[in-house]
Amino acid sequence: MRRASVRPTIDGKLTEADWKRADAVTFQFPWTEQTGAKQKTTARLLWDDEFLYISYECEDADITAHYTKRDDPTYKDDAVEAFINPRPSQTDAYFGFEMNVRAVMFDYIYFQAKYLVKRMNLEGFQLATHSNGTMNASGDKDQGWNLEVAIPFSEFEPLNSTTPKAGDNWTINLNRWDGVEPDRRLSLWSDSAMVQPNPHNIRRFGTMVFVR
């Protein structure tokens, strides 16, 4: 993951030269029983001294989202997620950020795959989306939507109070929930190896390397 040369403007438009240079990952669909179109997601990461930046480009022919309040179950909408473990020497806890196309944040710390502490609320983050299509109108054909988020490194303090430097590794996964029941799909960067569609498996997170 490269450093940003200029702080991105968090507006949901991925026009920055740094985003164009950033390495891209695309999501896989491990659960063959899920039905509906396998719509492509491309995610990118950047960092600087203060923030971790994540962008998602989601192809989407039918954009839908209903939840509007902090900590609503945004994963039931068209949504993307970042699961972040800033201290890979432990596998007990990680941060979850689940964000829908309305730019609503559901943030929490998940502990021992049992205790979801949603009263953890990020401060100082920026989140924006940009849609090319119409939300909650199933009669037409949409193109897709983007999401752009900046998370201050200071917010990872409960698990890691040091600001990352070049050469550090964290582990993460990036996910997307897409579609309307019964045609609903979970895709992700690193296969969680769960039997049912479920992204929560910290032992299967991928490695994110901070590169100068």
| Residues lying near Ca ion in the complex (CB under 5 A) | 8-9, 11, 13, 71, 107, 118, 121
Question: Which residue is it, tokens 């609903």?
Answer: 184
CB of 106 to Ca ion, least distance (A): 7
CB of 144 to Ca ion, least distance (A): 16
Integer Cα distance of 54 and 37 in angstroms: 24
Q: Is the CB of 71 or the CB of 72 nearer to Ca ion?
A: 71
Integer Cα distance of 114 and 22 in angstroms: 34
Q: Is the CB of 62 or the CB of 98 nearer to Ca ion?
A: 98
Query: Which residues lie below 8 Å from residue 27, measured CB to CB, with a gap of 6+?
Result: 40, 41, 43, 174, 175, 176, 187, 188, 189
Dihedral, 134, 104, 86, 156 alpha carbons, nearest 10: 150
Integer Cα distance of 135 and 31 in angstroms: 26
User: What six digits make up the tokens of 150?
Assistant: 């900046």
Q: Is the CB of 108 or the CB of 190 nearer to Ca ion?
A: 108
CB of 70 to Ca ion, least distance (A): 6
Q: Is the CB of 121 or the CB of 132 nearer to Ca ion?
A: 121
Q: Is the CB of 4 or the CB of 187 nearer to Ca ion?
A: 4
Integer Cα distance of 144 and 129 in angstroms: 11
CB of 130 to Ca ion, least distance (A): 8
CB of 105 to Ca ion, least distance (A): 7
